[in-house]
Structure 1
């Protein structure tokens, strides 16, 4: 998940068991996202996962498109420790931090999945990712948690209730403007998940139609290029 404040936390969800459930649920979305990444050959590339949680996205990415090396950062100490334990011999480093200080011009590709809606200062985040990317580097930032989502008023309450986070209110346009201000070439698309979506009565979507709409139409993938 994401970075919200400077102090570290243990886990993102108040219920620690929810972390494993989240990773399982996100796995098909991660694989779909990996298919959307324009950069097909990552064998010589360095990758950043901002808000890595338990490290599942980077492990999926390496299995599908092996990279040279990667860094996953997150302020959830317990989650980062689990990510480090699960990485095996993969060329991945994890840090329990929200800062990219010391990583200037290090990464070819950066990724975040459902992170930016929790970042308190989106301008500072955009600038931080900018300095961490190499020239020509690309940041894929994915979120469906925005004010253009008709479910957002309900979700805002659920996020505050179920997680150890501080929720931010931003529109899709707000994100575009922030990344453009940082110097990125900004483009985006709908995630348009094309797999089968399971029926899960978890309270996030009032009915199954909402879930289908969310994963195909509401969830956005930003592609942000550093010239």
Structure 2
């Protein structure tokens, strides 16, 4: 699977970073924490047989989501993109013989009408130009392709004012302020058929007073009520 950088796309305006977190050791913990949510998300999507499908993971970090997806619903091939250079190096070191290509960057303009499915998990709130991102992902999808964009980082989240400061303090990224409706409008304007649901994670949530949710009830509410899964269909 090969692609090239294009001109004037959202990805061109995003600079590479070494790792998402200022403290690189937090990168491994992020993947471990997301793993149960990834498995829950995979269980939610109605697409069961992916054996002939091509998949994009936008903002793949260390590649864990695609490894989980292939283990549960094997796909034909996949591309993982991320701007964190060390994370991509780790992803490539862990992929073994899986049919996955991991690449540093955020520009999908070289993959026109390539993917049957696309995913992003807690990435869209960091994208400077969400309108361009929506257009680029739609262009990268085949007709009837589907983009699942997952985020709980939106201004409808009651924890957002606090989280916004923590993201700025702890990561090498630039935070954007958008509501759930802002995302829906951007995706619809790009030509997607937009629907969404709460992720409604029903597993046990570990107590982890790490600053993000020191009040344990906040953590329970976040994973059951606040985190949103957009299902965006290209017709």
Same fold (TM over 0.5): yes
Do the aligned partners of 1:185 and 1:224 also contact (CA within 8 Å) in 2? yes
| Aligned counterpart in structure 2 of residue 130 of structure 1, from 130, 138, 157 | 138
Cα-to-partner distance string for 1:86-140 (whole Å, 9 max, x where unaligned): 0000000011011012100000000000000000000000001000000000000
Query: Which runs of 5 or more structure 1 residues have no equivalent in the other structure?
Result: none
Paired residue total? 225
Q: 1:53 aligns with which of 54, 58, 61?
A: 61
Which of structure 1's runs of 4+ aligned residues deviate more than 4 A? none
**Aligned match of 1:99:** 107
How far apart are 1:5 and its partner, in Å?
4.8
Contact 2:208 2:214 in 1 (8 A): no
Does residue 110 (structure 1) correspond to residue 118 (structure 2)? The answer is: yes
Q: Within 5 Å, give how 1:212-227 maps onto structure 2.
A: 212-227=220-235
Matches within 5 A, 1:180-219: 180-219=188-227
Q: Distance in 1 between matches of 2:47 and 2:136?
A: 22
What do residues 168-214 of structure 1 show as CA deviations (whole Å, max 9, x unaligned)?
00000000000000000000000000100000011001300000000
What does residue range 167-182 of structure 1 map to in structure 2 within 5 Å? 167-182=175-190
1:9 to 4, 7, 17: 17
2:43 is aligned to 35
CA deviation after TM superposition for structure 1 residue 6, in Å: 2.1
Give the distance between the partners of 2:21 and 2:156, measured in 1 at CA: 24
* Whole-angstrom CA distance in 1 between matches of 2:166 and 2:114: 36
Return the TM-score normalized by structure 1.
0.98
Q: CA offsets per residue over residues 125-160 of structure 1, 9 Å max, x none? A: 000100000000000000000000000000000000
What is residue 70 of structure 1 aligned with on the other side? Answer: 78
Give unpaired runs (5+ residues) of structure 2: 1-10
Residues 12 and 107 in structure 2, CA contact (< 8 A), matched pair in contact too: no
Provide the C-alpha distance between the structure 2 equivalents of 1:5 and 1:21, rounded to a whole number of angstroms: 28
Q: Which moved more, 1:154-163 or 1:197-206?
A: 197-206
Secondary structure of the structure 2 residue equivalent to 1:60 = helix
